[in-house]
Structure 1
């Protein structure tokens, strides 16, 4: 099975403080069953705090519309979706990020609601959100978005007076604090393909993209991608603990031993609970180039169960349309969980400083590909990165090898 990025990101959000894990658009949950209960059935795997916000929204909707949309927590969401839907059972909708969309659409788990959407997606939602919910050469609409996330640059306001606009400014501050022999570092930065994606994309490179023919292609062996890896090796790695794992990386920002961190909204509560005065800003430019991180979008997926019963389909779609277009509910998620609103009608000025900071990087980022081939890209990419950073491997040869591995995996 391809690497599950939601699980990876979930682990990265707080190994150093497991009790406060949240984020990455929800992963933990419990139980889960299914069945044709109420007007429509929803499955999710949100954390306890996210579930509270969600249940408030669902209660408001049901009360205002005299509806009975039923939701169930499902801790093993992916497995249950993939084993239940082929039997003709399961929910009308489930909530997750977009990274399953291409694979699940290819496997006939998802319903194309293109003909059921009566509003313009591009006018309503951010570009990244529209890319997240559409799949295939025919741009099938397989869900509606409710929130976004990405990693960006965080800074300790007690150590940094104003956020850097250029990497040169950032490096100057990192140099000031970097003293590993005394447990001080310039930067807290988990090192994996997702967390370093902004730097890897900064020079025009990419791990994966879909070409004009709708085919997935890898760019791991492009000079521009290798230039991104050179930047990570020469300008990021020297300022962080010599450990790619998220726990040690997060700990140094969490205990006030680094002025900067690269992390996501799921980490904010942990940092603040440990007394860090967290500022959130966009990535600084690098030699005039703007780093673009991968973005994730939480969405309500439409399953093939929708095709079975017109009344249940309409009930599920009505809820999805309401929750995805409600400014009030998206602000509630932003306030409670630092989710980035995906509605074009909500500007950064409407949000708190932290969410506004994430919104800037989300809107300037690159939607994490939802193509089914993307799952085969992560491991070869991270193997190459680790070889370069930890074993001093040659970037050219190691990334050429990774590209060939990806292409070979696709042929199998």
Structure 2
């Protein structure tokens, strides 16, 4: 009885604020999954620590780094069953599939207002939108741009004509030197030409358009660079491209921020937007953009708090940490007005590039495209098939697979 009276007295004192509640009794835990490593992980954890400090005693965000190769499958397997996190960070390419599967990602239009929407680069919000509904806040984006060796290329080319002129002067196949090197057989990289000519993989209703006249023109342009201009190496792998650039045997590379970490120390390099296409009336090359969004999971029991965390992670202050310390390109548009961020050449170049980048389609049908498109590219480049025949075959296969997907 004495112990009971003491317990009641303690509860009363807590209620009147005379005794502190313990953290475990007061704090709500919000679990956040991501796949960042190295400096990206450190920067994210710093921002999370700032949130936890500002909300001490109320909310505590716990992060878990999941290996990227297993991340998507882990989300698919755990979240719909209520076994996953409250929040997770992932690119938009799987968004449509998870939404169609159900009970995975919470729509957030209810929480959005005009002021919050204006925080972001518009195309990054577009990437978070599926069939007219917004499902996440954009955090960071990635796209390819033009990376050049300043010793070999003092001024980056701004047009395809300038590109060919510069690249021809640098190319010497006997010594294994090329003016330009990139993974042109990879459909992801070829998309910059495809979109530049006004092509794409789907129409407005997400019906496949792989064999469109515009896509065929982009293939013709690539073959011109390979066969007529002779400025590209044959069958360039990622390892070969890195080796050529580091050995001073490639003046220009088309690649993304992931390539920068592979550049050898001592090489003075620059980054610039991809050139415009003289052959397409001066339109810019338009690479695909992947956007890493922060998603509130549908089964979360703390959706409002989870969304509050997502908002904090996308503030200008948080974006500055992710940019300068994590070396990422934030979707927050305001951060690029910051003095330190605006004078950073890497951040500036990718910010310019994203103005013409195209969000990679986030619909489930996109998964049907990769294999046929890759087969078509290989057949064309190995001269095993004429471009139109290869694209027609790919179109037929994707149309068949999409029809099958929609019957399910």
Q: Same fold (TM over 0.5)?
A: yes
The aligned counterpart of 1:147 is 140
1:258 is matched with which residue: 234, 250, 255?
250
What is the DSSP-based 3-state SS (H/G/I as helix, E as strand, rest coil) of the residue aligned with 2:187?
Answer: coil
Deviation at 1:244, TM superposition (A): 4.0
The aligned counterpart of 1:111 is 106
How far, CA to CA, are the matches of 1:187 and 1:38 in structure 2? 53
* TM-score where L is the length of structure 2: 0.85
Matched, 1:315 2:298: no
What is the DSSP-based 3-state SS (H/G/I as helix, E as strand, rest coil) of the residue aligned with 1:239?
Answer: coil
Gapped runs of 5+ residues in structure 2? 1-26
Deviation at 1:351, TM superposition (A): 4.4
Matches within 5 A, 1:46-65: 46-65=36-55
Matches within 5 A, 1:182-193: 182-191=175-184, 192-193=186-187
What is the DSSP-based 3-state SS (H/G/I as helix, E as strand, rest coil) of the residue aligned with 2:328?
Answer: coil
Deviation at 1:316, TM superposition (A): 0.9
Deviates more, 1:152-161 or 1:114-123: 114-123
Equivalent pair of 2:143/2:290 in contact (CA under 8 Å)? yes
Equivalent pair of 2:181/2:236 in contact (CA under 8 Å)? no
The aligned counterpart of 2:322 is 333
The aligned counterpart of 1:269 is 261
Size of the alignment, in residue pairs?
A: 364
Matched, 1:92 2:82: no
Gapped runs of 5+ residues in structure 1? 1-36
The aligned counterpart of 1:410 is 402
Equivalent pair of 2:43/2:322 in contact (CA under 8 Å)? yes
Q: Which has the larger radius of gyration?
A: 2
Matches within 5 A, 1:182-331: 182-191=175-184, 192-209=186-203, 211=204, 215-236=205-226, 238-271=230-263, 273-287=264-278, 288-306=282-300, 309=301, 312-324=302-314, 326-331=315-320
The aligned counterpart of 1:25 is none
How far, CA to CA, are the matches of 1:280 and 1:182 in structure 2? 26
The aligned counterpart of 2:156 is 163
How far, CA to CA, are the matches of 1:98 and 1:351 in structure 2? 29
How far, CA to CA, are the matches of 1:302 and 1:384 in structure 2? 38
The aligned counterpart of 2:169 is 176
Q: 1:111 to 1:236 in 2, by over 3 A?
A: farther
* TM-score where L is the length of structure 1: 0.84
Equivalent pair of 1:111/1:302 in contact (CA under 8 Å)? yes
How far, CA to CA, are the matches of 1:79 and 1:131 in structure 2? 24
How far, CA to CA, are the matches of 1:204 and 1:38 in structure 2? 49
Deviation at 1:358, TM superposition (A): 1.1
What is the DSSP-based 3-state SS (H/G/I as helix, E as strand, rest coil) of the residue aligned with 1:195?
Answer: helix
Matches within 5 A, 1:366-381: 366-381=358-373
How far, CA to CA, are the matches of 2:169 and 2:96 in structure 1? 45
How far, CA to CA, are the matches of 1:181 and 1:219 in structure 2? 40
